[in-house]
Amino acid sequence: MKKILLKIIFYMIMGAIAVAVVNSCTDDTTPLRSIKNKSTIAVLPCDSMSLNARVTPNITAYIDMSKVHNLITAEDLEMLKRLNYRIDSTRCIAIVQNNDKSYSLSTKRYNVDLPIWKWETSVDSAGNITTRQVGKRPANVVYDVDFYLADKGDSTTIGQDFLRRTVIEYRAKTHEIAIHTQVPQGYQEIGDIKSRRSLGDYFGLRSRFYANLKANDIKQWFLLSSLDYGTSIKMPRKAQPKEAQSLRTITQEIDGKTIVCDPKGWIEYGDRAGTHTITFYDDSTLPTEYAFNPLTFFGQDVVIDFLHDKILLHP
């Protein structure tokens, strides 16, 4: 009995040490700083069908609200080195989610000064968006951005390590992401968000942001996510209405995933309520079965204030 008790104590001590080591990469949660000390740090144009944002003429970053850590490709890191931007590396251990949703153990983190170019975006009468680079030098440089090295074949990704230090504004007409240090004028709070921790957070994954929504009479914490399949609200297949006549079934050609859409789903969030398309599919790579993309949900300009846990719209 004494040997068993000693083994239990030993494993508990080793487990505590392992957790401490894995969490040795302390996250910076202070607001972002940049060379140009203004409230707007950058305005990044995105691809028409995704949240792939142009950072420099040669670096594109995917804005992924559900990913905890930022990732940078070896090619983009080498490009920053050639341009003589500061890059420091630190030895630490973190569990990092790759873009294919798998997980890997990283032992090195890079802290970089990230250049941001200026872009000019215009929209013609047909709604086509055109973007052009303004100037041959960066318009701003963001200090102290932490990255982990992306797997080969992955892309550079902006996750919560970056986003939780900002206020981001999605400009629907021009499909741009503006990064601020405070909420722009003219916006009004409609609901809050919350940083919540799961079991995985204690093994280096940290917390993620959630919004409390009611969808088809199901009240749940929805993970803020840059959802796939062109959807804004994701629920599991088990939650889909059984008798609804409006349901449509779609089979994705990319991965064969069966998706069911309810274009007349009823959504309540904050002080807003109305019908919206709900997409039902199962995805084991997300930490929750329920997910929400506020950037595309409202169909208008929207602000997510990660510094003060709020979502805002124009009144």
Q: How confident is the model at residue 9 (pLDDT cuts 50, 70, 90)?
A: low
Q: How confident is the model at residue 271 (pLDDT cuts 50, 70, 90)?
A: confident
Kindly report, residue by residue over 152-186, the tens digit of the pLDDT. Answer: 888 999 999 999 999 999 999 999 999 999 999 99
Q: Please tell me the CATH code under which domain 24-180 is placed.
A: 2.40.70
Q: Are 46 and 173 in contact (CB under 8 A)?
A: no
116, pLDDT greater than 60: yes
Mean pLDDT (the chain) is: 85
Give the pLDDT confidence score for residue 234 in this predicted structure: 92
Instruction: Enter the pTM of the model.
Output: 0.86
CATH class for the domain made up of 188-313: mainly beta
Give the pLDDT confidence score for residue 98 in this predicted structure: 78
Rounded average pLDDT over 282-306: 88
201, pLDDT greater than 80: no
Give the pLDDT confidence score for residue 17 in this predicted structure: 46
Q: Distance (Å, rounded) from C-alpha 193 to C-alpha 233?
A: 15
Q: Where exactly are the structural domains of the chain?
A: 24-180, 188-313
Three-class secondary structure of residue 128 per DSSP: coil
Question: Residue 5's Cα: distance from chain center in Å?
Answer: 44
Q: Distance (Å, rounded) from C-alpha 34 to C-alpha 163?
A: 15
Q: How confident is the model at residue 24 (pLDDT cuts 50, 70, 90)?
A: low
Place of tokens 């993309």: 293
Rounded average pLDDT over 58-71: 92
Q: Pairing state of beta strands 302-305 and 291-292? A: unpaired
Rounded average pLDDT over 269-280: 91
Rounded average pLDDT over 285-294: 85
Place of tokens 């630490």: 92
DSSP conformation class of 285: T
Rounded average pLDDT over 192-207: 70
CA distances from 252 to 52, 67, 260, 294 (A): 21, 23, 11, 23
> Are both 24-180 and 188-313 of the same fold?
yes
